[in-house]
Every structure is written in C-alpha cells, then in structure tokens.
C-alpha cells in the first residue's frame, strides 16, 4: 500500500489519524528503523536526545514518518514540531520533499489485569480536555490509571491507541491482547527488538506471537525502536 504523506500533510498534519492508519496498515518487518519509527523518547522524559537532535537524525536517516512518545508529556513533540516548521521554511524547494511526517505521540502507564502496561497514543489532539490528565509528566492514579479509561481518553481526543511491546510484561501477550481488545485498543506494537540487538531488528519469536494475535483480532500493527539513547536506530 502506498501512502501519500505529502498530500496527508496538507490536512490536519500531526493529528491526521486517517493517514496514520494507512501507514500502520502497511507496516512490515523492514519498516523500522529507516522508514518509520513510532516509539522514541527525548530529554522530556527518559531519553537522551534533544527534540531538535532527534529531528535532525530523522531527516538524515530518511524517515518518512515518526512519532515522539515521551512518557506523559508532549513537550518534546512540540519542540520537534517547531523545528520541523522552521526547517521547512528555510529549506530549498526540493528539500521539503525529504521532510518526515511527524504525528503527535505519547506513552502512558496503565493498569491492565492487575499489572502495569504501557499504552502508546498517536495522532490525538494535545489540546483536548480528555487527554490532559496524561500530559502532566507523571503516572495517573485511580480510575484515570485504568487501561479502559486511558483508551477512552485517547479515542475522545481523536487518537489511536496501541499496546506497547506486548511481550515485555509479567503476563503474556496471549493474556493481555484479548483483554485489551475488549477495552477498544486499536493496535499493538508488533515489531519490537526485545533484546536490543545490533543492528536493530524485531525479535522473531515474540513478533510471530504478537502478529498471530493481531491478525486474529483485526488490529493495527506498529513498529519502533523505543529509543532512549543517542541514536534513533537503537533502543539504548
């Protein structure tokens, strides 16, 4: 499937969930980390990259699309979006075609089946009231900490909800994915490098298990390096 990101960027840009769904529908094992990357952290949560450095790398690598998913914060995304705006304004006409498509993103801690999981949110309106409790730089408590409430808030803000790295928790993907499907999750992070290999590549056994469950439940698939270090091509 070919996604016209140049056309999509003329719409609501970072909040264009429709364009992002098209991208997720075409994601495969080779999509990350040089074409797309939907899981990255900056100094605005627990990463080491400044947002501007992250965007410079994204352009250098040739990423077509990405999302910064800092924990409970969109401050890094806002700085990255400003950098991208400035870069486009100062670029030669031909260079604008090299601009990556940047969607809003965030990673949220949530309770599911009595344990903590992480939910990635994409293409949401960061000004929407429903998402505000999750943009305060900390894990929520009470009802707001429940996966069901978080997925509802993401949906209300116009976004897409994805279960991050489904094979990293105490409970198995076979337990977690059916449970979170019942709560309205849109997708799973199917392609993830659980042992931080060099070069980055999705872990075969976990990928196969998650993809089988994703297909069974009709979910979207995403990929990301979960960058916390100084390179977008690795986790650490």
- Please tell me whether residue 111 adopts helix, strand or coil conformation: strand
Residue 117 pairs with which residues in a beta bridge?
Answer: 110
User: How far is the C-alpha of 28 from the C-alpha of 185, rounded, in Å?
Assistant: 20
Q: Where are the alpha helices (DSSP H) in the chain?
A: 5-8, 17-26, 51-61, 75-90, 147-156, 173-181, 204-217
> Residue 103: phi, psi to the nearest 5?
-100, 155
DSSP per position, 113-137:
TTEEEEEEEES--TT-GGGGGGSSS
- What is the pTM assigned to this prediction? 0.94
Angstrom distance (rounded) from CA 230 to CA 54: 8
Task: List domains and CATH numbers for the chain.
Answer: 5-223 (3.20.20.140)
One pLDDT digit (tens) per residue for the chain, 236 residues: 445 454 344 335 799 999 999 999 999 999 999 999 999 999 999 999 999 999 999 999 999 999 999 999 999 999 999 999 888 888 887 777 788 999 999 999 999 999 999 999 999 999 999 999 999 999 999 999 999 999 999 999 999 999 999 999 999 999 999 999 999 999 999 999 999 999 999 999 999 999 999 999 999 999 999 999 999 999 99
Q: How far apart are CA 41 and CA 54, in angstroms?
A: 9
C-alpha R_g of the chain = 16
The contacts of residue 127 (CB under 8 Å, 6+ apart) are none
Residues ≥6 apart with Cβ < 8 Å to 8: 16, 18, 19, 101
Question: Rounded to whole angstroms, how far apart are CA atoms 99 and 192?
Answer: 25
- Quick one: tokens of 164? 């991050």
């Amino acid at each position: 499937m070919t996604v016209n990101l140049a056309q999509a960027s003329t719409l609501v840009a970072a909040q264009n969930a429709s364009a992002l769904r098209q991208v997720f529908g075409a994601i495969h094992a080779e999509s990350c980390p040089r074409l797309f990357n939907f899981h990255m952290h900056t100094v605005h949560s627990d990463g080491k990259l400044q947002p501007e450095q992250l965007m410079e790398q994204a352009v250098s690598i040739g990423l077509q699309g990405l999302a910064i998913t800092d924990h409970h914060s969109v401050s890094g995304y806002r700085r990255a979006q400003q950098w991208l705006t400035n870069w486009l304004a100062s670029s030669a006409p031909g260079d604008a075609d090299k601009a990556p498509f940047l969607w809003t993103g965030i990673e949220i801690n949530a309770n599911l089946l009595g344990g903590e999981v992480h939910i990635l949110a994409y293409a949401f309106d960061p000004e929407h009231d429903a998402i505000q409790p999750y943009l305060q730089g900390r894990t929520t408590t009470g009802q707001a900490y429940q996966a069901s409430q978080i997925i509802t808030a993401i949906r209300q803000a116009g976004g897409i909800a994805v279960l991050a790295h489904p094979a990293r928790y105490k409970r198995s993907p076979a337990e977690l994915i059916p449970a979170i499907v019942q709560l309205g999750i849109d997708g799973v992070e199917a392609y993830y490098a659980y042992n931080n290999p060099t070069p980055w590549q999705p872990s075969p056994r976990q990928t196969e298990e998650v993809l089988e469950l994703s297909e069974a439940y009709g979910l979207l698939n995403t990929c990301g390096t979960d960058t916390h270090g100084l390179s977008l091509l690795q986790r650490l």
